[in-house]
Amino acid sequence: MQTGTTLTQFIIEEQRHIAGATGDFTALLNDLVTAIKTISNAVNKGALIGVMGALESQNVQGETQKKLDVITNDIMIRNNEWAGHLAGMASEEMDEVYAIPTRYPLGKYLLVFDPLDGSSNVDINISVGTIFSILRAPVPNRAAAMEDFLQPGVKQVCAGYALYGSSTMLVLTTGHGVNGFTLDRDIGEFILTHPDMTIPVDTKEFAINASNRRFWEAPVQRYVEECLAGKEGPRGKDFNMRWVASMVAEVHRILTRGGVFMYPRDTKDPSKPGKLRLLYEANPMGFVVEQAGGAVSTGYERIMDIQPEGLHQRVPVILGSKNEVETIVSYHKEV
């Protein structure tokens, strides 16, 4: 027997508190949820339907694409292009803005997404996810131009992620806290299982790709060295280090028990100011983390305030438990 609040019920209840709401945003979220359920099914079946492995192609970032990168990108497009809610879409896997086909009506929102974050993990059955962000189109009902997507993170209407792990979860915010929903496959519905998710302000866990240590800037090296020094060091406590190589998995762990995730600026490739994409990863995750009481920074500035300059702009990312992020930022200020 079904128990608990479904995502559909939750969204409609939220809509009732918004004066002048038309239901357009609610319908868009329903289309997005349908895409996520379809992706969950594809990821879940994996090798059974022949979708594992890499392609010979690369995306705009020069990264080798997995078969599921292309498949999930197509699922997101096909489920969200037709209903008349969107003026355009942008994806980590596409060079340019996706124009809504002329046979479909145009709407007042923009959808930005990373269809399969952590896809390098799919062949070894480690958690991956989908990250998404919804913006208002500057000019509703007009085909979106690239410039329309270049909005700072504070302009987001909604953001969140789906996690495809031991269960499929959807975590989202519309600017009024963060809520998590778990997919009940028996009834095909997401059920509210993690209401009002918050990030503890203190933590004893940090996540970073330690293989890049020699390329880190001095403030990050200092912070990690202090954590590794444990009780005998200046922090006076022992830390654990984690690294999944899937931003969705890292952020979800932080949302459930605290921690810090870092993909900082380094000197490994001087042409890239950071590893993660501002529009597809940093801004949506930044919105979620801040709404859960955490903090997000490049080390030098709040990520949500950055004015984007391009669709695939990269930035350093430091996010998680507020007190730890503030400590790392203070070390950057001392340089």
What residues form the annotated binding site for substrate?
117-120, 209, 275
Find out whether 33 and 11 touch, Cβ atoms under 8 Å: no
- Strands of 92-178 (E only): list them: 109-117, 128-136, 158-164, 168-173
Phi-psi region of 55 (alpha: psi -120 to 50; beta: other; left: phi over 0): beta
Q: Which amino acid is present at 68?
A: L
Which residues in 30-59 are b (16+ Cβ under 10 Å) and which e?
A: bbbbebbbbbbebbeeeeeeebbeeeeeeb
Helix (H, G, I), strand (E, B) or coil at 179: strand
The dihedrals phi and psi of 237, each to the nearest 5 degrees, come to: -155, 155
81 closest CA partner among 59, 68, 98: 98
Q: What is the DSSP letter of 15?
A: H
17 CB-contact burial (10 Å; exposed 0-12 / middle 13-18 / buried 19+): exposed
Which residues in 300-320 are b (16+ Cβ under 10 Å) and which e?
A: eebbbebebeebbbbbbbbbb
- Please enumerate, by residue number, every residue annotated as part of a binding site: 92, 114, 116-120, 209, 275, 281
Find out whether 259 and 203 touch, Cβ atoms under 8 Å: yes
- Please enumerate, by residue number, every residue annotated as part of a binding site for Mg(2+): 92, 114, 116-117, 281
- Cα–chain center distance at 317: 12
